[in-house]
Amino acid sequence: MAPCTEEWNQRGKVFKNFEKLPESWDCQYDQLYLVRKPARGPRMDPINLLPYLPQAKWSPGPGDQGWHAMLCQVRKESQKCTRRKSLLKVRVMDFVTSTAILPLLFGCVGIFGVFKLLQWIRMKAYLRNAVVVVTGATSGLGRECARVFYSAGAKLVLCGRNREALEELTKELASLATKVQTHKPYMVTFDLADPGAIAAATAEILQCFGHVDVLINNAGISYRGAIVDTTTDVDKKVMETNYFGPVALTKALLPSMIKRRQGHIVAISSVQGKISIPFRSAYAASKHATQAFFDCLRAEMEQYEIEVTVISPGYIHTNLSLNAVTADGSTYGVMDKTTAQGRSPAEVARDVLAAVGKKKKDVILADLLPSLAIYLRTLAPGLFFRLMASRARKERKSKNS
């Protein structure tokens, strides 16, 4: 049977070499179309065949210079109504592609651009002259947060344990070239892990500019060790620094924010506040507690219009692992490969600025793998636990070898 129907000749651009249908082909299909298909890659359906495709039967045809011919057979009775529909579809497609789509596309891009611009202007206005307190400003992410918020025109209160490092940072900030009017930062030194120091520090912070708009709870300490070897004092030290200290400072500053019905609390948590990895128990526990506390705070503060943002970064290239505490309380003193390969603190600080400016509620600043791990922990906990157990085995083995 020769397949050259009229329809075929109109569309059969490829089919010229095909003489006979294979015998196995079903002849109750009386419309035959040839469609070119690259040897590798998707089928290229002619647009006017699309309406028939649900009823079509596909069979592989002969090869043609790297193309596979495909025969599409369409049942006779299904054609009349589908042809009318097809005409309509083609007209709609023509209309969309010719007249409507381009203005629509430009319109959407324009609206999106204007929206982004307004968001940017609002963000700049929100942060300019805002009183921003940064804890752990002496190093790493805190230091970079100080730089970006200072450059955005914020009035800074820099907190840390090391007065000299804070003074050095203040000098560095003064030498920054900025586009907006800047303000000389204040410095407040105290140890977050000392519960007795919080009240005096809060009073000093409030004296600087009279109020606080944004508190960035950034200071933190990491930990490396096996649970069985770790003293409870070490667990407490990590919890005091990463959890009880920030919680106490936040609670101490809240009344003044509630009174003004204005304020923004930021908690720098970690991906390890969402998933726990072996040999980081105290750190992961402190960050899980941080996430939980500030999630509760967000809900409770909504009535006072106080914002709460929890930021969970992945690895950042800072001194965190060098300063980490070990099972016996000594300093770890090693720059971990993962930390060394982490994101630059300046980049993360810019993301923190954007998250605060946009009043985001919960932000994960991590690569694909940690982000996937967070979903895996929720969707397939069994698999996640097996992966973590295998990681623990490998880490133990590499330590023993």
Ligand X SMILES: NC(=O)c1ccc[n+]([C@@H]2O[C@H](COP(=O)([O-])OP(=O)(O)OC[C@H]3O[C@@H](n4cnc5c(N)ncnc54)[C@H](OP(=O)(O)O)[C@@H]3O)[C@@H](O)[C@H]2O)c1
Measured from the CB atom, the residue of 71 and 325 that comes closer to ligand X is 325
CB under 8 Å to 355, separation ≥6 — which residues?
Answer: 266, 309, 311, 363
* Among 12, 51, 140, 357, contact with ligand X (rule: CB under 6 A): 140
Measured from the CB atom, the residue of 12 and 370 that comes closer to ligand X is 370
Which 182-201 positions form the footprint of ligand X (CB under 6 A)? Answer: 191-193
Binding mask 6-45 toward ligand X (x if CB under 6 A, else -) reads ----------------------------------------
Segment interacting with ligand X, rule: CB under 6 A, options 7-15, 117-125, 248-256, 315-323: 315-323
Q: Answer for the pair 320, 140: CB distance below 8 angstroms, yes or no.
A: yes
142 binds ligand X (CB under 6 A): yes
Pair of tokens at residue 178: 């900025």
153 binds ligand X (CB under 6 A): no
Gap between the Cα atoms of 255 and 310, Å rounded: 20
Which 45-104 positions form the footprint of ligand X (CB under 6 A)? Answer: none
Which 325-354 positions form the footprint of ligand X (CB under 6 A)? Answer: 339, 342
Gap between the Cα atoms of 175 and 151, Å rounded: 11
Pair of tokens at residue 173: 């900030």
Measured from the CB atom, the residue of 18 and 293 that comes closer to ligand X is 293
170 binds ligand X (CB under 6 A): no
The minimum distance between CB 330 and ligand X, in angstroms, equals 15
Instruction: Find the helix or strand (DSSP H, E) in which 71 lies.
Output: strand 67-75
* Among 318, 349, 352, 363, contact with ligand X (rule: CB under 6 A): 318
Q: Round to the nearest angstrom and report the end-to-end CA distance of the chain.
A: 75
Gap between the Cα atoms of 44 and 66, Å rounded: 14
The minimum distance between CB 214 and ligand X, in angstroms, equals 16
Residue 311 pairs in a beta bridge with: 268, 363
Residue nearest to ligand X (CB): 140
370 binds ligand X (CB under 6 A): no
Gap between the Cα atoms of 361 and 267, Å rounded: 10
The alpha carbon of 17 is separated from its chain's Cα centroid by a whole number of angstroms, namely: 55
The dihedral through the CA atoms of 71, 76, 80, 81 has a sign that is negative
Catalytic site positions = 283
Applying CB under 6 A, the site for ligand X has a residue count of 29
- Please report, to the nearest 10 degrees, the dihedral formed by the alpha carbons of residues 244, 246, 247, 248 taken in order: 80
* Among 73, 202, 270, 281, contact with ligand X (rule: CB under 6 A): 270
Which regions of 136-275 does DSSP assign to beta strands (E)? 155-160, 186-189, 214-217, 223-224, 263-268
313 binds ligand X (CB under 6 A): yes
Q: Which residues bind ligand X (CB under 6 A)?
A: 136, 138-142, 160-162, 165, 191-193, 218-221, 241, 268, 270, 313, 315-316, 318-320, 323, 339, 342
